Structure 1
Amino acid sequence: MKIHKAYSVYSLICFSLVAILLSACKTKDNSVKETDVFDEAEKIISSIEYIKFPNNTFNIVDFGAISDGVTNNSEAIKKTIAACHDAGGGKVLIPSGRFLTGPIHLKSNINLHLEEGAEVLFSTETKDYLPVVHTSYEGQELMNYSPLIYAYKQKNIAVTGKGIFNGQASNTNWWPWCSKEEYGYVKGTSQQKDDHNLPRLWTMSENNTPISERIFGEGYQLRPSFMQPFDCENVLIQGVTFTNAPFWVIHPIKCNYVRVEGVTVKSHGPNNDGCDPEYSKNVHINKCVFDTGDDCIAIKSGRNNDGRVVNIPSENIVVENCDMKDGHGGVVMGSEISAGVRNVYVRNCKMNSPELERAIRIKTNTLRGGFVENVYVKNIEVGQVKEAVLKINLFYAIYGPQEGDFMPVVKNIHLQDITVENGGKYGVLIKGRPQSFVKNVTLTNVHIKNAESDLSVENSEPIVFKNTTINGKEYN
């Protein structure tokens, strides 16, 4: 009996010690401390396996492709992909040369590989992107022009190599539809904000119109994404360069296990976001260069009613070793964010350009709603930003008033080991809501120089500073 009591006391002590140790790894709201979170990032990276393709190679030239930059090779590329797929998969090779084509539709177990010196030129004829396909525009699903590179409900797909994908978008095609004169828009011509375009899509979304009935394409002015894997699993995008995109560049939507590695995006058109994971999870963006006309990386999860109906948060996303140049933001969450974003890890990146507006940005409002939680940023070198190093805005507005009944929630935003040479207008800019304070923001070993103002913070819990300086002033 005495032995039993002693054992019980010993067990109780052990259990209590374990409980204390476990609780020490959590903050008051159960978010993991910064010192532990990048172990979670490693687990995410390890879960994304490199795809193994069958040892088959199919050269598009053998199926009739001509590298003169003039002949449309759509059928030759389509036949090559079909033959490779029918053989069980493998590599579809685009050799050195300039190949004009319409949209490329990938199939399971296909690695579309561009040799060094290969340039794929996409047609500027809008009719070549018909028939319409199930796609998405600014966070709302529809039937529209095909993305330039598209995969729908496929597994084990890749785009690799050292070649260039040139969307050939310009002020004479695709871009004028954005309604901005600097991109070729002529007053009086049709553009995306006309009633028959975006307002029509917004109404369909709010009314839960079936996707199959949301038909756009010819006669409408909604631009296609450049590369869009839609509802795919195991996606690899590696080594290639994207330029002159009509709209968003790399847009994995409803995807799981995505690796974007060593890619260069140099595209300065309207809404030319570099990489926009949407409703996606387990995403690794590594060793990429982003030089863009909009956000370098923007993590999204649907807009308004569409996002709430789909209800798939984007989560478990790791961004590392990237170089962000021009763009509205380095790593951004929103504004299409109605299903929420969680567990984002950013480390070992460089952000520097007089045209880079913010380093880390979160944007939403009460029409979009959604949540952002558990964002960890570590070891970032910022040379120059225009507006703020960290911007959180729960009053984001575009296309007019953006007020509704869906209160956004933002919490657990942690920046650590950040150096900034020119901080722009604000070191930190936070605009929360009186009904929804931004919660648990920490800056640890963050040093910001040459910001016009240290802080502008509204409707936020007090920021926790540790060994942080802004304009030489210590915040601790």
Structure 2
Amino acid sequence: MSFDSIQASPDIVFNVKTFGATGDSKTLDTEAINNTINAAVKAGGGTVYFPAGIYLSYSIHLQSHITLYLDQGATILAASPSGDVGYDPPELVVDNNFQDFGHSNWHNSLIWGENLEDVSILGPGIIFGKGLTREGPHKAPIGNKAIALKLCRNVILKDFTILYGGHFGILATGVDNLTIDNLKIDTNRDAIDIDCCKNVRISNCSVNSPWDDGICLKSSYALGYARPTENVTITNCSVSGFDRGTFYNGTYQRNEADLVPDKEGPTGRIKFGTESNGGFKNITINNCVFEYCRGFALETVDGGILEDVTITNISMRDIINSPIFLRLGGRMRAPDGTPVGALRRINISNITVYNADSRFATLISGIPGHDIEDIRLSNISIWYKPLDSSVTNIQQEVPEFEKGYPEPQKFGVIPAYGLFVRHVKNMELSNINLYLIGNEKRPAMIFTDIKGIKLRNVTVDRGSNASLLMLKNVSDLSIKDSKALKDIELKEVQAKSY
């Protein structure tokens, strides 16, 4: 279609109440809502308007050239299934070997669309997933996602709130030209999953997801082929892991950490992976805040290439595992013959972290024969809380854990409190400060199997009876202008401590 053929048309608004919706929170409004959408489609597109009210519903079918507008006081309430009545059935999965069940289905959702263009959900209202499940695979009529989009383009999600979004608050798979702006999400599993998408802008969002990831980029095999997630910006967002619902109601409680599915404390972070068949390319993250959650996780373990990422201007507080976790692994949940991927050209700068969990340090690890490459960390200050006196299971040799699920806790308590780096090629640390809030007996940094590393203006606190830096199988090491570490130039060292 050429632009010359597009005809201007008057704004058309289709009020769901005109088509029979009650908004009384008791009567099922599913049919009325979908009839309103169909009427708008027949008119060539338009806005489906939800005035103030509570609209009880099962699956709502998005269509091309349609905006759903939730006015102030309007809530779309996910109904609880009753007998055989409920949400649309999940699609038949031909091959579910390479991704979790939830990534293979979209129709079993409160709001879903497939192969659409020019779609928006706007307005200050609420999508409340009360009747959605947050658990794994179910047959119809159960729903487990608030919003699910597959193979769409030109999509805008703006200004509304998602409460208790089910297993996924937003699942976007193969969606191009996607804008997510000014959302508040307080949910019970993943908040925003961006999977195999291109040209994505996430901005001004506040995300609380204690039981799973907050903003999560993935590149699964759900489309039946590997497709990268690329050209993504995430800016001016906050992520947290407060108890479910307490971010939205303003009480910010911290009592449910043991209810997280992996039993490892609140999640709520920004993450790349674990599904990583297609890889991640050309991504920037800036001006974001983390509070009471896990730190950054950049992971590629299924053959994808993770490259060209810039992360800057980040503030973190009360981080319950590694503040920065970079992992190239060999889990290889991928078609036979897929090679191990790559993780390279990562620039992380201007980061402040207070009260980080020292059990897992900042952890950067490739695997033997597959180095992480070209990593630059600069202008980073981290204050680590002391290791609890009850912790005695400090790893003497950190397992490679090549094929395991990539999570810092899986490696056990790291033998360095601040920075553990191995299987890396070409790394630079500049203006790095590692501080101790309390007592510590472990060294600050451990570098193993490193091919080229520069330290410039690196300041680290020394624990009692501990080295600052331990080296094993390191080549081309250069240290200059670093407090408590003498200037050093070493071509190769097998084992040494400072």
TM-score, normalising length from structure 1?
A: 0.72
More helix by share: 1
Residue 128 of structure 1: which of 74, 86, 91 is its match?
86
**Aligned mates of 1:143, 1:421 — CA distance in 2:** 39
1:131 is displaced (CA, Å) by 4.2
Q: Does residue 1:229 correspond to 2:149, yes or no?
A: yes
Q: Which digits, 9 at most, give the CA deviation of each residue in 1:338-386, with x for residues without a partner?
A: 0111111000111111xx022x102343xx2212111110111112211
Q: Which one is further off, 315-324 or 390-399?
A: 390-399
1:14 corresponds to which residue? none
Tell me by how many angstroms 1:433 deviates: 0.6
State the match for 1:460 in structure 2: 424
Deviations along 1:205-255, one digit per CA (max 9) or x if unpaired, are xxxxxxxxxxx8339x8x633211211110000011111122111111111
User: What displacement does 1:330 show?
Assistant: 2.4
Contact 1:278–1:314 (CA<8 Å) still a contact in 2? yes
Checking the alignment, whether the CA contact within 8 Å between 2:384 and 2:418 is kept in structure 1 is no
Is the Cα–Cα contact under 8 Å of residues 59 and 87 in structure 2 kept in the other structure?
Answer: yes
1:163 to 2:139 alignment? no
Deviation at 1:474, TM superposition (A): 1.6
Tell me the distance in 2 between the aligned counterparts of 1:115 and 1:259. Answer: 20
For the residues of structure 2 that align with 1:273 and 1:144, how far apart are their CA atoms?
Answer: 15
Q: Does 1:97 align with 2:57?
A: no
Q: Which residue of 1 aligns with 2:36?
A: 80
Give the secondary structure class of the aligned counterpart of 1:107: coil
Counterpart in the other structure of 1:362: 298
Is the 1:144–1:224 Cα contact (8 Å) retained in structure 2?
Answer: no
Aligned residue for 1:445? Answer: 379
> Partner of 2:160 in structure 1?
240
Describe how 1:341-380 pairs up with structure 2 within 5 A.
341-353=280-292, 356-358=293-295, 360-365=296-301, 368-380=302-314
- Give the Å deviation of 1:147: 1.9
Distance (whole Å) between structure 2 residues aligned to residue 74 and residue 378 of structure 1: 44
Give CA-to-partner distance per residue, 1:387-436, whole Å, 9 cap, x none.
1111023348799xx99963121111111111111222244111211121
Contact 2:300-2:306 within 8 A present in 1 as well: no
1:139, 1:412 → 2: CA distance?
32
Distance in 1, matches of 2:106 and 2:155, equals 23
Q: Is the 8 A contact 1:139 1:301 kept in 2?
A: no
Q: Does 1:422 align with 2:359?
A: no
- 1:329 offset after TM fit, Å? 5.1
Separation in 1, partners of 2:111, 2:72: 19
The separation in 2 between residues aligned to 1:343 and 1:422, in whole angstroms, is 30
What is the CA–CA distance in structure 2 between the aligned matches of 1:163 and 1:332, rounded to whole Å? 28
Separation of aligned partners in 2, 1:104 and 1:54: 25
CA distance in 1, matches of 2:51, 2:342: 49
Moved more, 104-113 or 421-430: 421-430
Residue 180 of structure 2 aligns with which residue? 260
SS of the equivalent of 2:349 reads strand
> Counterparts of 1:237-316 in structure 2 under 5 Å?
237-268=157-188, 272-292=189-209, 293-303=211-221, 309-316=224-231
Q: Distance in 2 between matches of 1:380 and 1:143?
A: 34
- Give the distance between the partners of 1:284 and 1:138, measured in 2 at CA: 25
1:414·1:443 contact (CA, 8 Å) conserved in 2? yes
Counterpart position of 2:139: 217
For the Cα contact (< 8 Å) 1:152–1:230, is it kept in 2?
yes
What amino acid does structure 1 have at the position aligned with 2:113?
A
Q: Which amino acid aligns with 2:86?
A: D
Q: Point out the structure with the larger strand share.
A: 2
Find 2:24's aligned residue among 61, 68, 73. Answer: 68
- Cα 1:455–1:337 change in 2 (3 A) is same
Residue 440 to residue 301, structure 1, CA distance change in 2 (3 Å) = same
After superposition, the C-alpha distances for 1:272-300 in whole angstroms (9 at most, x for unaligned) are 21211111010000000010121111111
Please give the alpha-carbon distance, in whole angstroms, between the structure 1 residues aligned to 2:310 and 2:56. Answer: 42
Report the Cα offset of residue 91 of structure 1. Answer: 1.0
- Aligned-residue offset at 1:140: 7.8
Q: Is the 8 A contact 2:176 2:199 kept in 1?
A: yes
Supply the AA of the counterpart residue of 2:185. V
What RMSD over aligned residues (CA atoms) do the two structures have, in Å?
2.9
1:109 deviates by 1.1
Q: Could you say if the C-alpha distance between residues 133 and 377 of structure 1 is closer, same or farther in structure 2, counting changes exceeding 3 Å?
A: same
- Over 3 Å counting, the alpha-carbon distance change for 1:143 and 1:334 in structure 2 is closer
**Shift of the alpha carbon at 1:53?**
9.2
What is the deviation of 1:328? 2.2
| Identity among equivalent pairs (%) | 25
CA distance in 1, matches of 2:9, 2:425: 50
* Pairs aligned (count): 371
**Structure 1 counterpart of 2:220, one-letter code:** G
Larger RCO of the pair (alpha carbons < 8 Å, separation 6+): 1
Gap change, CA 1:117 and 1:396, over 3 Å in 2: farther
Instruction: Identify if the C-alpha distance between structure 1 residues 446 and 349 changes in structure 2 by more than 3 Å, giving closer, same or farther.
Output: same
CA distance in 1, matches of 2:271, 2:104: 24
Would you say the 8 A contact 2:63–2:116 is kept in 1?
A: yes
**Hey, what's the Cα distance between the residues in 2 that align with 1:260 and 1:54?**
26
Question: Taking structure 1 as reference, are residues 146 and 116 closer, same or farther at Cα in structure 2, changes over 3 Å only?
Answer: same
Q: Indicate whether 1:328 and 2:270 are aligned.
A: no
How far residue 145 of structure 1 moved from its aligned partner, in angstroms, is: 4.8
Q: Is the 8 A contact 1:53 1:89 kept in 2?
A: no
Q: Is the 8 A contact 2:153 2:176 kept in 1?
A: yes
- TM-score scaled by length of structure 2: 0.69
Q: Determine the structure 1 residue equivalent to 2:465.
A: none
| TM-fit CA distance, 1:458 | 2.0
- The one-letter code sitting in structure 2 at the alignment partner of 1:261 is D
For residue 133 of structure 1, report the CA deviation from its aligned partner.
4.2
Distance across 2 between alignment mates of 1:232 and 1:113: 19
| Distance change (3 Å), C-alpha of 1:424 and 1:414 | same
Q: Per the alignment, in what secondary structure is the counterpart of residue 249 of structure 1?
A: strand
Gaps of at least 5 residues in structure 1 are 1-51, 179-191, 193-215
